[in-house]
Structure 1
Amino acid sequence: MTAPGRRSSTFTRLLRHGFTDPSAAERLLDSAELALLRDDPVLLEALGATADPDLALRGLVRLLEAQPGPIAQRELLDTVIAAKPLRDRLLGVLGASAALADHLARHPSDWQALVMYEPRDLHPEVEEFELGLAEATDPVSLRVAYRRCLLSIAARDVCGTTDVAQTAAELADLATATLRAALAIARTAAPEDAALCRLAVIAMGKCGGHELNYVSDVDVIFVGEAVEGADEGKALRSATRLASHMMRICSETTVEGTIWPVDANLRPEGRNGPLVRSLSSHLAYYQRWAKTWEFQALLKARPVAGDIELGEEYVAALEPLVWKAAERENFVPDVQKMRRRVVENIPLTELDRQLKLGPGGLRDVEFAVQLLQLVHGRADTALRSGTTLDALQALAAGGYVGRADAAQLDAAYRFLRSMEHRIQLYRLRRTHLVPESDDDLRRIGRSLGLRTDPVAELNREWKRHATVVRRLHEKLFYRPLLDAVAQLAPGEARLSAEAARERLVALGYGDPAAALRHLEALASGVTRKAAIQRTLLPVLLGWFADSADPDAGLLNFRKVSDALGKTPWYLRLLRDEGAAAENLARVLSAGRLAPDLLMRAPEAVALLGDGDGGGLDPRPRAHLEQEILAAVGRAEGAVQAVTAARGVRRRELFRTAAADIVDSYGTETKPAEADQGALVDRVGAAVSDLNAATLAGTLRAVVREGWGDTLPTRFAVIGMGRFGGHELGYGSDADVLFVHEPREGVAEQEASEAANKVVSEMRRLLQVPSADPPLLIDADLRPEGKSGPLVRTLNSYGAYYRRWSLVWESQALLRAEAVAGDEELGRRFIELIAPLRYPAEGLGDDAVREIRRLKARMETERMPRGADPKLHTKLGPGGLSDVEWTVQLLQLQHGWAEPGLRTTRTREALAAACAAELIPAEEAATLDEAWVLATRVRNAVMLVRGRAGDTFPSDGRELAAVGRYLGYEPGHVGDMLDAYRRTTRRARAVVEELFYGA
């Protein structure tokens, strides 16, 4: 027994040396196996230097217990006491890896693999590892030999004999030797297959790049050829059997566990393609079918096993294609999309702990470096390295990345890879998640030399490096473009004009010379403004490049900056509120309408940065009307009053368009909304409310100018069509009816003259040439159409509708709603028309036939000549007209009995018809989807072209911009058109059944 005093002293020393369970450690030190070392201060000091002293001590006791007898135990103890290098290596491994401690307990003599300390042992290469695996003749012995070699790599790693890059290279070399040994075993098992074929194993990914993890899939591609005189088909089948056997040898679990999975899914066609192809088959695939990411993957291709000569032929044949990948259409967006997809697939519960795939993780570094390599490696062969850190160093040396940025990125990558190595080393499990327990974090932190407060220090350093990576990932591809045009410090690396041009072309800029001029104008000089622009532009350039028209985005940004450059809040807003800068970039590169609106009042940029986006929320109609009426009241005359009202309308149209673009494209902090119907409803309601408030202000201005406070007749504006339905688009006219009623004591002729003058003045003032977008009033839905009077009394409307009204007028009145003027008169008009639009007992057969006849005639006569009917959003099959007429027929037939159908809004009426079981839910959903899509297309066309249109644009860039608004990535406009045709085709089938009774 140990005396209490000594126990207390030992307990204190154990705490001081970093043990977290000193009581258990005392018991282990009192064991018979450690009797000779119980009081040895050297042992405690060596244990205290490990990542986890408790784990190291337990592992040492287990290793001693596993020795075959006292002599072997004494030999081990004597060696540990006498040989500091061995002591540090052995205890270092035991304190960092429970899995390798398990291996040593199963194979107690393998500790002697750590005794050697010769130059070749310090930095072994493939040949040394092959010697270490030479005696393996089956999967079990291969695993034992593999772990023995891994033991020596881990020992050098945890003792700092090798750095993280050397460790990763050694792991890749060990993987190479293991693949060769596994293939040799497979060949021995099937000599007849080996005799028929040449088989080359091409390492990909981290193994190919000489930067492997402790535990990782080893990515490979197989190339096979027939030996001379052999049948090619038989040879490829033989090669496939050899490759499959080799993969099983490495991947399958045995009594000694597994080595690592061999993954061949990077091959052409992935897991659906043949495992082994001939060289010519590989080449044909990459020339015709390969995607951008497949060329990016080939950056790291390296022959490692089998027929090395054939492997080198493979790499040489594909190399020219790899370095032409940046010339492919949508190259940069494809690479960026793949990176985004990786992040999107991370479970939310893991996002904050993902060391590899999360924002600021290892993949951010690798993607940025590979992107730059593919763009500039075409002309600069010095950049063609498969190893991330070597490639980063070459990019810095060539001036493609600033030296300071490269140094920061190098340091961050090394730290993150070191964390990843130590996490995996503990259990030898494939993971990239930072553990959550303090014990695990403490062990990792101590293994990285953080000893004062390992957990807090580790978290702090990890977050710091991740922040650096995220920032540099965002700017790395774009910053050197500014360096090409900005004034740099003497001796600082500078991207050449040609390299800058190449990078802009790869990003999708059609006029790189103009883009460079814009950058020079924005970022050159030593002013504070230029300095802030140099901070903003790298990220903005990336957002512009993510659009269908990067050139327009950059040009518009220059225009806005020129207009607001002297405004103190502008650049500060963009710099300090990340959402404002990203929102602005999206808006400026999404088409013509929003930038045009912004250029007329650049101060509206402030709307983009209001807190978390609240500045883009549509304002209620009452607030809009209040502001417009106040502006009208301050104006000196009607012209100035309407100008002020149109100014408010312009700003609010920009607010609505900007919100629509931001929510449709989404941002890094705010993904695109999935509910497209909600986006359509918001735009329709916002524009309708805005036009109603503008008409109210115009009416107030006209009345005040001509009559002072009171008009001789009560006057109301009735919204019709999309206006009454709260479904206006950006370019829609305002369909209206005008109604008046003479005030008491006013002659009808005087009242009529006043009402007609009001209508005439409203139309004139709203059409006065101006920089503001026009608001066109269309009154053609009035009784007698263009031949009838523009304005009638309420009684006149009543008389007309009683005597002359046709069924189409009843249909048109379904969407009538009072929007401006005398509220009480507007309400009475709506009451007047109720029996017409919701006729008692519904419609008769003759009326239904008449509606169908009118619809068929409209389809035939109004379709523009040369237009593709299947892509016409309004009149085409399954388009807006089809859906609206079908819904309106249901309203006319059943509105008298179903209160839910008594609404002016199409989607609301459709939902009510479904709820009333007048239309099956599936068919209602089909019609709703088609209506929403057609409306979105019309809005997109207006946003992109700056003018209204009912068909998809014919210009390729405009069509791509419509696609981006609708959620399609660059290069997928064909998918967009196919989806539109498919959606409207399904809707037309429903219309044929419900409307035409087919």
Structure 2
Amino acid sequence: MNDLPPALAERAETHLRTLRAAEAVPDEARVAATLPRVLAASDFVACAVGEGDPGLLHDLARSGDLFAPYGAQAYRERLQRRLAEAGDEAGLRAALRRFRRREAVRIAYRSLAGWAALEETLAETSDLAEAAIDASLEWLYAALTARWGTPRDEAGEAQRLVVLGMGKLGGRELNFSSDIDLIFAFPEPGETDAAKPRSNDEFFLKLGRQLIGALSETTPEGQAYRVDMRLRPNGDAGPLALPFASVETYYESQGREWERYALIKARCVGGDYEAGAALLERLRPFVYRRYLDYGTLEQIREMKGMIAREVQRRGTARNIKTGSGGIREVEFVAQAFQLIRGGRDPQLRSRQLLGTLDALEAQQLLPAHAVAELRSAYRFLRRTENAVQMLADEQSHTVPEDPHARARVALGAGYADAEAFEGELERTREQVHSQFQQVFAAPQAEADAGEGSDLQALWSAAPAPEEAVRLLEAQGFDDAEALERRLRGLREGAVVRSLSTRGHQRLDRLMPLLLGACAQARRPARALERTLDLIESIARRTAYLALLVEHPMALSQLVQLCDGSAWVARFLAAHPLLLDELLDPRTLYEPLGREALEADLDARLAALSGDDLEAQMEAVRQFKQANQLKVAAADVSGAAPLMVVSDYLTHIAEVALERSVALCRDHLVRRHGRPLCRDDGEAPREAGFAVAGYGKLGGIELGYSSDLDLVFLHDSRGAEQETEGPRSVDNQVFFARLAQRVVHFLNTVTPGGIVYEVDTRLRPSGNAGLMSTTVDAFRQYQREHAWTWEHQALVRARAVAGDPGPREAFEGVRAEVLGQPRDTAQLREQIRHMRERQRAEKASRGHERFDLKNDRGGLTDIEFIAQYGVLASAHEHPELLRYTDNVRILRTLAQAGWLDERDAHRLASAYRTYRRRLHELALQDEERVVGAEELADERRAVTALWERLMEGAGHRVDVDIAAPRGPGGWGACGS
């Protein structure tokens, strides 16, 4: 006892004399070394092993139970053996209480002696309570069914009670002396199968009351657990047990915000565990919303305010659970992120707080130093809380004022020096409160404070139109009269009228912030018009309004992007989930490279079940949309040049396509087995599948709204071609279904949008052809039946996904077909004729406008010249087959001598200029048409080159276009 402070050593010695007199102290070195410390910190242990049961400590030491942790099953098995000897409910209660006392002493001793880490203490305390609930319920259920019959549903299936453990019991983080919060439910209505049947409602009401009595009634042996049922639907006013359908209906129609927090940790702790898991899965959409629920911050802030007022009223500021910087603030920080993001991120659905903090750190949602502080603080506060409760097995969360009692708590928390403990407690609570404030600080307070400002008046005061116009003009808005009408239309319109009270409050907080941000934009009026379109489309989903109110930086980025691009504004309005991407400008303007994209999508898919194709489709959609927004942000800000933008967009498509093919193939293999084939005289092998990308995907020139032109191939051949599974199908059927499934995966329209529009008409024989073609059939078609325009398309085609074998085979067929010698005069005539047909169908009908793609001298003329050059001379210059993008094809044509260097530069420069202008128009949601005088020099140069190269005009071009800068004068040429 030399290591104990004098006052605590004296107390320990007093307890020791009493225990020795009762012969309650075993002759065991490990007990002798630790018992004084334990007795100094816990009157509960001293009483339980003394006058309560002098043989208890002997039993714990002799059995070895005192010196090792249990598992959850050990508690259950031990208690079931004891309850098996109970002949009636009184015997059940006595056995339960004696068991709980023995194991509570064991848990407290191991914790106070320093033998058990915090996590072990919390888990074992929870496992003990769960064993008490489940074993007691099992005993009571058997007894009640013997009297009343077995409750069954309409189909005759036996019904059992489901007990949900809430709060820390559900999270296996139970306090040493805690209430247990429970909810009772049962799967289906019905009645018992006795001669005089009882309804299931009556049966489970009776059973629930019996269980509560078994756990909480005070008997000569004391009380096992205090049971709190107030978290059930409708609280004390609601039925004690409800069928699942009624529970689900309640939360859907009446569930309140605090009940979402309560259900985060909910776990089945007794009865029918399988049915309990199914019930919780049905309730998951209530807890975890599909969208990013930033309204959570506002609601937790309100809840915390109510708690703080109650703490002040009761004078319990030293309460380490609910006071400032206490356990509840750590929990609120973790739960806020869970409720905001848990609907989209399963990794944030942990029931345990430390596990949630680990996930927040891994995903960089909180800085590592902040998580480290919260993690350390939580462990310290929970050790302190347990030390408080182990004093006398009482539910308290307040460190005593009495210095002697505080010293005992400090010792129980691992501090022999009470002053050092007090200092650590103070520092810990300050750190926790600081982190809480950083997460829950109310940025809208500044806007609230400026209630009399012009911006506030513009929205909330509903000024007369003339005054509103004056206020808008004073803020720098052009066309103020139109903007005033727009604001008034929104304020008085159906969308705003339909908002809830909370929705109105959020919109009223947001609008002054929005007006102020737009006033700072480069083009304030345009920024406001576009942003109002978005606000109107998301207003009913008020969680998005909350996101913008809570994060002024996100609002600032939103205004900046909408000011820069009508397409981005429309994109965000269609996919408001992406507003979350605006929170961190450091990542918003940095699109991911190919490897990082793969890691991003793999991480999103890793958290999903391999059988949940719908969830996988949603994950790929969100991956594509989030990364496409990053590219657009970098594009609008000028951080990414055009060619790099196309590279990024193409990489996103390739990764999405690659993973989609793999997911769809895995699904079919699980159903039918692997597609095997046997070539003549060879061992069986698995047939491969590949996807070829044509057009903009093949040419690495994707835009934001581009579809994917795809052709599906496989390399199955030989006499034996079928899958190996029990539901075997022919390989051709397998690969046709695989192609159809990939198209469905990418093309299906859902509330979250689509991944990509897919066009498969470029496959052999077009819409009349097979969805997936063998490589051999593809080769034969290309050599014997394909039209010239199909060979033109092949110039810009490349393998983009799938297995190496058929990918290489496709590239081989492409090289073979494109490298065939051709009659150049006939080829030129066919390509020229095709182009004339296109112009007749698609070109502008007047001279005032220039369609950048379809008109004479436009983008398509350049593409056709490049394709003609490849088809005409690839047999002599195979290097022309290396690239699929037009700029590098033109460069290679010049290097091969087919094009004059200056002509190739003119075409490449015009091509880039056209693409850049098309890109600008797309970002502004405008048609791909400009005035006839715009880009006139480029148009004349391309037209002249077309006439000379494709129509045999025979004159040279005198119009110069400045050669692009960069290596060799060619500049960026794509990937």
TM-score (ref. length: structure 2):
0.43
What's the TM-score, normalizing by structure 1?
0.42
